[in-house]
Amino acid sequence: MAQGVPENIPEDGLTTRQRRNRPLTMVHTGDGKGKSTAAFGLTLRGWNQGWNIGVFQFVKSAKWRLGEQSAFEALDELGAQSPKGGRVEWHKMGSGWSWSRKAGTEEDHAAAAVEGWAEIKRRIAAEEHDLYVLDEFTYPINWGWIDVDDVVATLANRPGRQHVVMTGRRADPKLIELADLVTEMTKVKHPMDAGQKGQRGIEW
């Protein structure tokens, strides 16, 4: 694709404008760092366009406050006070980091994930957001807490022009098939390989 020009034009009966403005389903997956970071970069672009955005984190600890959260809460206040940007809601519903779940039974975590997905479904049906960021969403699906077929059906049949981006390792093949855009982050090197823990400003 050179200079933003598609290599193939499908015979779908749509105009260029209609095709350009279709809502996208996006997946950021793979073992490399940057899946959530890329999704939050997309969130920033959406905010600049005046979008109403919902961020839903499924396995980040409620005790951790990510730098992006603080930044987008400030931008949300700015968007509420002036026409310079959009609105951003930030919701945590998880059990901890994907590699180190926090206290609580698996049943508690599963119930929280199911409740979170039910709320997202309600909002999608009501067309409440222009962009949904489902961060670390692949994990509750892989753990069997959320039915991937329900996710696929909900996203495939969502009304209006609502974009959705999902992040997390090992995305279910059904999500890959559904998505319009799939990016796989491939780890080449990582400081953790040399025993270095995450640090402020880089991981959060």
Would you call 149 helix, strand, or coil by DSSP?
helix
| pLDDT for 185 | 95
pLDDT at position 62 over 60: no
Q: If you average pLDDT over every residue of the chain, what do you get?
A: 84
Point out the least confidently predicted range of 70-74, 88-92, 159-163, 189-193: 189-193
- What is the spatial distance between Cα 112 and Cα 131, in angstroms, rounded to a whole number? 22
Would you call 77 helix, strand, or coil by DSSP?
helix
The answer to whether the CB of 176 falls within 8 A of the CB of 20 is: no
Residue 170 lies in a domain: yes
Angle at 91 between CA 105 and CA 173, to 5 degrees: 70
The residue that leads in pLDDT, 120 or 63, is: 120
Q: What's the token pair of residue 154?
A: 């909900």
Would you call 185 helix, strand, or coil by DSSP?
coil
Q: Which residues of 92-107 are buried (b: 16+ CB within 10 A; e: fewer)?
A: bbbbbbbeebeeeeee
Residue 96 lies in a domain: yes
Residues spanned by the domain of 57: 26-185
Strands (E), the chain: 25-29, 52-57, 87-92, 96-97, 100-101, 131-135, 163-167, 181-184
The CATH number covering residue 60 comes to 3.40.50.300
The residue that leads in pLDDT, 44 or 196, is: 44
| pLDDT for 191 | 77
For the question of whether the overall pTM of this predicted structure is more than 0.75, the answer is yes
| pLDDT for 72 | 86
Residue 191 lies in a domain: no
Residue 74 lies in a domain: yes
Going 51 to 128 to 58 to 26, the CA torsion angle's sign is: negative
Residue 41 lies in a domain: yes
Count of domains for the chain: 1
Residue 198 lies in a domain: no
Question: 85-109, pLDDT tens digit by residue?
Answer: 899 999 887 544 333 445 566 787 7
| pLDDT for 31 | 94
